[in-house]
Amino acid sequence: MSRGSRALAAALVSVLSVTAFTPVLFADAYDAAIARAIAAKEKAVDSNDPAQWEEALRLFTEADAIRATKDSKYELASAAVRLKEDDIAFEAFEAAIALGIAGKAKEKAQVFLKAHEGLVGRLDVKGPAGAELFVGARRRGTLPRPTLVVFAGAAKVRATHNGQTVEQVVTIKEGATASVDLGPAFVTKPAAPASASAAPSAAPTAKEEGSPTVPLSDTGGAARTLGWSLVVGGGIVTIAGGAGLIVSTRGISDGRASLDSHCITRRTDDPDQCFLPRDGLKTEAQQDNNNIRTWKAVRTAALVTGGVGIMIMSVGIVRLLTAPTPPRASAWVPRVDVGVGYVGLSGVF
């Protein structure tokens, strides 16, 4: 195998590996979010920069909002510990244990909880659904949400909703639960009265035009979009795996033919490796050995890539088959027209 062929084989291994596993991240929003958060955590570990840890905590919080898992809770808690946000860490460690985290991670969480249980209390906040909730300067999610773990003492609770902000200072005792209802403080804005002299709309509404009212709901569009993306992405991965398989198979075949001309006896445990080379051809036989090994590695990567591609396509097909079917706005109704000297078929919607 020439230097160019070896470079091609190495490049194929790299491309097949990246092609095989990149779409898996995009296949699930949670997986993509947790991957970004872990990458940010690694940067924070290397730099030990508080700003990097803030970014890691933000990304782990986003991943946890998509889907709360024992891993997202544990990583969120670990990032909060680095920033001395022990109330957030306490809440996340508790949740991680409840979700089934085990081993040394569970032991670490239990040690932290025991050491900090006398420093925190709990806060039950009520308010309008969708309001953003803050305790001090830290955002703690949106309402409604489960009871918060907060430091004991006075805490400034703030909620924002529809352009309004409501604040209240609440005192929390160690080990106790305090409650606060911010809902009554939000002012309900009255609807603007209809004006008789208001200018008429320039464009007629859908109702005026006789169009049916379409509910503003997702009728499976997101599932179908993801399904087609997975089918297309999986197809590309499968094609890449197939191309790699063809190229590697040819490379192995060429390597074996070359080995026949350079080798007298092959190894019994591996016929693709030379045991006794011909006189003066030891270097060439060894090169054949290396070439065949390289192309076998490419073939393995191609098989794995093709398998991953087929798996991704299968998930996409399942998404497409299970996506809700959007309702039809109208249906074609056949009509037979009979007249003097003719019979016609037409239809209306």
* pLDDT of 194 above 90: no
Distance in angstroms (rounded) separating the CA atoms of residues 10 and 6: 6
302 domain residue, yes or no: yes
Q: Which residues of 118-135 are buried (b: 16+ CB within 10 A; e: fewer)?
A: eebbbbebebbeebebbb
Residues 226 and 320 in one domain: yes
Distance in angstroms (rounded) separating the CA atoms of residues 19 and 180: 52
Task: Show which of 186, 214, 235 is a domain's final residue.
Answer: 186
Instruction: Check which CATH number belongs to the domain holding 155 and give it.
Output: 2.60.40.10
4 domain residue, yes or no: no
Least Cα distance to 23 among 272, 192, 323, 230 occurs for: 230
155 domain residue, yes or no: yes
pLDDT digits (tens, 9 = 90+) for 249-304: 998 988 889 888 889 888 888 888 888 888 888 888 888 888 888 988 889 998 99
Virtual torsion, Cα 134, 139, 143, 149, nearest 10 deg? -80
Report which DSSP code applies to 213.
P
Q: Where is pLDDT greater, at 341 or 200?
A: 341
Q: Where is pLDDT greater, at 121 or 4?
A: 121
Cβ partners under 8 Å of residue 31, min gap 6: 24, 25
36 domain residue, yes or no: no
pLDDT digits (tens, 9 = 90+) for 38-88: 999 999 999 989 999 999 999 999 999 998 999 999 999 999 999 999 999
Residues 162 and 239 in one domain: no
Task: Calculate helix-pair angle for 221-262, 282-322, nearest 10 degrees.
Answer: 160
51 domain residue, yes or no: no
Domain that holds residue 286: 222-325
16 domain residue, yes or no: no
Task: Show which of 186, 206, 230 is a domain's final residue.
Answer: 186
Question: Is the distance from CB of 330 to CB of 347 less than 8 angstroms?
Answer: no
Residues 164 and 241 in one domain: no
Distance in angstroms (rounded) separating the CA atoms of residues 19 and 77: 33
Q: Which two tokens stand for residue 228?
A: 């087609």
Residues 252 and 178 in one domain: no
Distance in angstroms (rounded) separating the CA atoms of residues 144 and 168: 17
Whether the model pTM is above 0.75: no
Distance in angstroms (rounded) separating the CA atoms of residues 229 and 252: 34
Residues 169 and 228 in one domain: no
**In total, how many domains does the chain have?**
2
Q: Which residues of 143-152 are buried (b: 16+ CB within 10 A; e: fewer)?
A: beeeebbbbb
CB atoms within 10 A of CB 159: 25
Give the pLDDT score at 10: 59
